[in-house]
Chains A and B, each alone.
Chain A
Amino acid sequence: MRTLPEPFAGWFAARGWTPRPHQLALLDAAKAGEHVLLLAPTGGGKTLAGFLPSLVDLAARPHDGLHTIYISPLKALAVDIARNLTAPVSDMALDISIETRTGDTPVNRRARQRENPPNILLTTPESLTLLLSLPGAPAMFAGLAAIVVDEAHALAGTKRGDQLALCMSRLAALAPGARRIGLSATVAHPEALRTWLSPSARAGDVRLVETRGGAMPVFDLQLPEGRLPWGGHMGLASAPEIYRRIEAARVTIVFVNTRAQAELIFAALWRLNEAALPIAMHHGSLEIGLRRKVEAAMAEGRLRGVVATASLDLGIDWGDVDQVIQVGAPKGVSRLLQRVGRANHRMDEPSRAVLVPANRFEVVECVAATEAVQAGDLDGEPPRPGGLDVLAQHVLAMACSAPFDEDALYAEVTRAGPYAALARHDFADVVRFVEDGGYALQAYDRFRKLFRDSEGRMHVRGPQVVRQFRMNLGTIVETPLLKVRVRGGGVVGEVEEYFVSTLEPGDCFLFGGQVLRYERLDPGAVIVSRGGDGEPRVPVYAGSRMPLTTYLAARVRAILSDPRRWRHLPDPVKEWLRLQRLKSELPPKDGLLVETFPRGGKWFLMAYTFEGRLAHQTLGMLLTKRMERLGMAPLGYVGTDYVLAIWSAFEPHDIAALFTEDILGDEMEEWLAESSMLRRTFRNIATIAGLLEKNHPGQEKSGRQMTMNSDLIYDVLRRHQPDHILLRATRAEAAQGLTDVARIASLLARVKGRIRHRVLKQVSPLAVPALIEEGREWVAGGAEDALLAEAAALVEDATDGAEHFSETLAEITDSLPVRGTSVPRERRRSRHVRGVPKMVTGR
């Protein structure tokens, strides 16, 4: 085995460390001039491994200017790594300059970094894009020797990953000698990750170094005392057990699935906290200063527990965590492993984790996930093609840096993994979109953003285009948020405008672990006071719930269908499944079980599809459209991660005809026109591509102007140019993302000819959880008009046409949220019309 050169060998020895095999392997790869992907569990000295070759090289051959660029998905991580790296460099008295550059870097330091870049620059994908859009980029990056990408698994497959892949392609053009080093957690598809990292979009050009975690994690299943809940996702019934476990451990991270769940679990723990344990909360909507305080307290060992969402999934090492508790189902195997890895950051000791399922299905899911971990199986989405919206932004960035030749840029772009299969004509359409909007109607000749010179090179039209680009760079589109400000105090975080629109002054809600009373809305901030009476509400955030992965769903089905595999299940769950077998049958491993039964004057159709909430939402919409066409008069539906339930006025028959693949044809087209999910997708794509702006240079924020929102644009564009590049991108993205159409297609193909239909006299045991699920969708003949008519008639009836009767109306309708496209379709049903299946369809 190789050894380290001095002074590194001495520095390791002084600490009693020996270099780990993968650290030496990365040195080898550097010597051979190879690109490399390192897969290692957290706590494996991964980051040091990534930097070691650069440090060794810089120690041996002092370098003028930029040598290594490090890219991390988190600003905080870049800052943290800079700190950790500075220590050994100064210990060994090496002459290596290390600096960070993020959105928070002061302007004067940014300017200096452009003039005189450090040897090692730590940054984020967005800041790198900005650097590459500068005219000075070629000079700055010419001497670049290494590109280190941290948490590569969290970037690849996302829009930020697309952006980074494009940036790396540009770096390869500017500095052909630069090696790529990817650092990643263990993943299901290392080939895909290698392809993403590769400068040629070929996996074979990236050496794979893999370290397997030493000890297998140890899992415990924690059920609530007493009855096991049928439904719900919060896991509040287990709060006493969670508290006892926190008490028994040194430091615990309690991972939950949503921010709302974090608030509720935290509040429940706080009520139980008789021993006054220091327990904190961490989620993405808390004010950043508060989050930093929690992180600091954690790092200093002042906390016994922290309730956290995905905001703590990545990054910084918390040191002494000895227990991880996952409340609610894990939803994915890789995600579970990532979270479990936050405990006991040492590779040679087993991590300990406690799974706390919130309901019966989640018990099965937890068992399936632990079995998968023990079998060493991971899930992960297969690679998807890069987004055209991200490409549009990149094309403009490149034009801002220097005039480009379209063919040369196309060649460069297709060397990036996500764009390897990009068709030349799609690329041309993206360039045309950037140039003049890409409309069939040649209306904007005068307003072009790019122009072509006599040699065919594309230039930006002027400095205002560049300014506009810089102000809107980035691939993260936020849902509109409002700051929450305590009256006479500071900002405590942010909530979605949608949530605020459902509040009345005096209403209370739970936020940041305290009950806040809504007072009023000031421009840009929600003013609240502490305390308040009544049951507090909990803010919900759009898209915060992860759907069950396909892989885990298959494992859940396999367990359900085979009683021999029930031995790890707790007794109440076994009993539940036995009852299901008796009253109906168990969902088959590969086919599809559909139950129909009458209840309360309606017919229910339960499809045990296990394709995740998003796919079920979409499938519910498509199936109800078809049922409407077949005269079954569907009334509504609800999708959980496991089951789709539809209720209708008439008995559904010929079930096989419902679940056919052609449902993705006509019904799909009709649905595309209306879908709020598609509208949301379009809004994001149009923003990233630069059609809609997050910010506009030199604009004043005063005055009340009527907004032109993305819905209006979507409607007009859809009517007049349905094949526009952004609409194509929207459909492509919806197919895999928000709407999971791809998953529905594979489901329908899988179950073809294998549908088991059982007509029951009454509700089956497996059906119960879905029927008590919240978040139902109503069918209204595809149109809101019918709903409006019903409401107008209802109001008229209730009041005999009186003009002013808000009090009466309040009783009929509860406060109803505005239905927009940027908000989740969470429905609150009126108390008084609950269960009235009066309106059937609009036809």
Chain B
Amino acid sequence: MTAAPVHIAGERLMLDPGGVLHWPARRTLVVADLHFEKGSAFAARGRLVPPYDTRETLSRLAPLLRLYGPRRIVFLGDSFHDAEGCTRLMEADRTALLHALAGIETIWVAGNHDPAPPVGLPGTAVEELRDGPLTFRHIPTPRAVAEIAGHLHPRATAPTRAGGVARACFISDGRRVLMPAFGAYTGGLDAADPAIAGLFPRGGRAFLLGTERLFSFPLAPKRSTVAVPVTTFGSAQDLPLFAGIKLRNG
């Protein structure tokens, strides 16, 4: 796994192809939009999707924690899919989570899905975290600088000779970093969607997640692009994914 450096407000941040951000100077690991217990949230509404999502998400997080050995972990909001999510954690998953977080200072940044801090889990709950020049918050704010945020689940489609390949991605323009969603059941929003493109008026770079490394592609400055929804399944509950990065001018 090769992480790629970006520099924000003079700080060196490492983007890991696993979908987490590491801030070496503060030994801080940042992870966004885990959406723990999304499966059981659906089950509660009569959609009995496989209950393994929390387990899967944890199994992806644990090796990254071992790799970086951070002093502090920042959950960048929407860590649980809903306010009651933490109460539905299965015992085995709760144990695994506690084990993974043992000895690490844990910061729960509030998200729109989980405005209240999780009950029965260690850590500090904050609306946002400011540390040095950087601000960590869930929902990105327009024109902010030195901001690390999540919420939008960015995803981009890169052109290859065998067709477009869509992946979750980091997006950065040297002023801010938009984090990919980490959860096993989190879909994505295309980088060309106005909600994302609007944050990067001068364009930026998308870092698509790969198995071993990131793949970097430039994003065009915001122009009259048209987002094209591509649903991958016909649920209207969840609105269509937006995909189809426009690397070409209209």
Contacts and interface: CB of A to CB of B under 8 A. Distances in A.
A14 B163 CA distance: 66
Nearest to A437: B48
Interface stretch (A65-73, A310-318, A728-736, A819-827): A819-827
B79 interface: no
A809 interface: yes
B52 A707 contact: no
Contacts of A819: 157, 162-166
Nearest to B242: A704
B230 to A, nearest CB: 5
Interface in A510-538: 520-521
Given A692-B235, A693-B235, A789-B215, A827 B230 contact: no
B47 A818 contact: no
A721 interface: yes
A27 to B, nearest CB: 46
A717 interface: yes
B150 to A, nearest CB: 11
Nearest to A523: B229
Interface in B163-214: 163-167, 181, 184-189, 195, 203, 205, 208, 210-213
A17 interface: no
Contacts of B99: none
A804 B221 contact: yes
Given A706-B238, A709-B187, A498 B211 contact: no
Contact of A717 (B50, B235, B241, B248): B50
A506 B246 CA distance: 14
B231 A480 contact: yes
Interface residues of B, number: 75
Contacts of A792: 158, 215-217
A464 B46 contact: yes
A819 to B, nearest CB: 5
Contacts of B42: 708
Contacts of A721: 50, 52
Contacts of A827: 162-163
Contact of B48 (A449, A521, A701, A829): A449
B56 interface: yes
B210 A785 contact: yes
Given A444-B40, A716-B184, A807-B249, A787 B238 contact: no
Contacts of B39: 443
A784 interface: yes
Interface string A787-808: 1111110010001001111110
A468 interface: yes
A805 B248 CA distance: 9
B130 interface: no
B132 interface: no
B108 to A, nearest CB: 20
B50 A720 contact: yes
Given A706-B153, A789-B215, A447 B43 contact: yes
B145 to A, nearest CB: 18
Contact of B50 (A437, A706, A780): A437
B239 A788 contact: no
Nearest to A821: B232
Contact of A708 (B40, B159, B187): B187
A701 B236 contact: yes
Contacts of B186: 706, 708, 712
B211 to A, nearest CB: 5
A139 interface: no
Top 10 A-B pairs ranked by shortest CB distance?
A437-B48, A707-B238, A709-B232, A443-B51, A813-B159, A778-B162, A787-B160, A720-B52, A810-B248, A816-B159
12 contacts: A497-B240, A693-B237, A694-B235, A706-B153, A709-B231, A712-B187, A720-B55, A721-B52, A790-B160, A809-B248, A813-B159, A828-B163
Given A437-B50, A713-B49, 8 more contacts: A444-B51, A708-B42, A709-B232, A719-B52, A806-B247, A818-B244, A819-B163, A820-B166
